[in-house]
């Protein structure tokens, strides 16, 4: 499965401009003939407007479904559409949408761990469910940014088998080494591919660091980029999954009776 990560520099508080830009970047990514295109976190508004947040947000994902869903169908490609600020049932959520090749929204995920140092929990509702889905017969899951600091979240998805984890983020440049280490650790400990798509540029007072990467189950970096807006792509050979899982029996050797969670 070939994956392309779109490391987008969105315009802060400018959703209309960002939908137009996302459409262009998705078209550019199709030059790589990917099976899956990935967008970063909160690409419709930037992370995150404190004023007029609800007014700037998507409404029940309607615009995202219309724009990104139509592109998925047009290009016959799966799209992990990052996440968007999204109003639903009177609350604002940080919501990720996943589209198949027919343009159907086959899954959605509300960020479960909100970043309290930036008061995200004061503006958004916490999600209550994990999210797994299939793309072209491959088992996949998604987490959003701060979620990656909670390995128990990822392990809860992977115990039943997961081939790909998509990490969509707006991670600041000052902590990029953390993102690099955590994304590689999640790949190694769970024996799966990790596609980490970060944003870049400035939103409010924060500079976001890019450095998106795609990592194989051995922890090898298949491709990565710097802090500038760019598109990276890698072919992920799923035949290595069987080999590593038979060589290092992490899941069959677990001692569940010793764990507290």
Residues annotated as catalytic are 41, 111, 145
Q: Are strands 78-88 and 58-59 parallel, antiparallel or unpaired?
A: parallel
Whether 20 has a pLDDT exceeding 90, the answer reads yes
List the alpha helices (DSSP H) in 191-261: 239-247
Of 218, 199, 260, 226, the C-alpha closest to 38 is 199
Average pLDDT over residues 150-173: 97
Q: How far is CA 110 from the centre of its chain?
A: 12
Q: What is the largest CA-CA distance in the chain?
A: 53
Q: For position 224, what pLDDT does the model report?
A: 98
Top pLDDT among 205 and 31 is at 31
Burial 134-157 (b: 16+ CB within 10 A, else e): ebeebbbbbbbbbbbeeeebbbeb
Q: For position 204, what pLDDT does the model report?
A: 85
Q: For position 260, what pLDDT does the model report?
A: 83
Quote the strand ranges of 63-145, DSSP E: 78-88, 91-99, 105-110, 132-135, 138-144
Whether 12 has a pLDDT exceeding 90, the answer reads yes
**Separation of alpha carbons 254 and 156, rounded Å:** 13
Whether 83 has a pLDDT exceeding 90, the answer reads yes
Phi-psi sector, 237: left (phi>0), alpha (psi -120 to 50), beta:
beta
Give yes or no for a contact between 211 and 198, defined as CB atoms under 8 angstroms apart: yes
Average pLDDT over residues 70-81: 98
Whether 261 has a pLDDT exceeding 90, the answer reads no
Give yes or no for a contact between 75 and 28, defined as CB atoms under 8 angstroms apart: no
Could you read off the pLDDT of 197-213 as tens digits, one per residue? 999 999 988 999 999 99
Of 150, 94, 85, 101, the C-alpha closest to 1 is 101
Residue located via tokens 């004023």 = 51
Sorting pLDDT into bands at 50, 70 and 90, what band is 2?
Answer: very high
- At residue 70's C-alpha, the angle toward residues 68 and 20, to 5°, is 50
Sorting pLDDT into bands at 50, 70 and 90, what band is 161?
Answer: very high
């Amino acid at each position: 499965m070939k994956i392309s990560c779109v490391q987008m520099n969105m315009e802060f508080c400018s959703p209309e401009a960002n939908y137009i830009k996302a459409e262009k970047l998705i078209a550019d990514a199709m030059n790589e003939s990917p099976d899956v295109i990935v967008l970063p976190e909160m690409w419709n508004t930037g992370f995150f407007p404190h004023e007029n947040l609800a007014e700037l947000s998507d409404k029940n994902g309607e615009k995202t479904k219309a724009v990104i869903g139509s592109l998925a169908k047009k290009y016959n490609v799966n799209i992990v559409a990052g996440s968007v600020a999204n109003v639903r049932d009177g609350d604002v959520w940080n919501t990720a949408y996943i589209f198949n090749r027919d343009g159907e929204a086959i899954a959605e995920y509300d960020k479960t761990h909100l970043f309290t140092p930036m008061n995200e929990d004061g503006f958004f509702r916490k999600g209550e469910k994990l999210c797994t889905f299939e793309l072209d017969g491959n088992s996949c899951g998604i987490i959003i940014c701060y979620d990656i600091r909670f390995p128990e979240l990822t392990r809860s998805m992977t115990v039943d088998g997961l081939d790909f984890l998509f990490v969509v983020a707006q991670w600041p440049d000052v902590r990029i080494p953390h993102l690099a280490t955590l994304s590689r650790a999640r790949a190694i400990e769970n024996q799966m591919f990790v596609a980490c798509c970060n944003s870049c540029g400035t939103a409010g007072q924060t500079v976001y660091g890019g450095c998106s990467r795609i990592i194989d189950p051995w922890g090898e970096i298949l491709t990565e980029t710097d802090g500038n807006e760019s598109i990276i792509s890698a072919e992920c050979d799923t035949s290595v999954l069987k080999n590593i899982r038979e060589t290092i029996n992490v899941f069959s050797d677990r001692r569940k009776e010793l764990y507290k969670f």
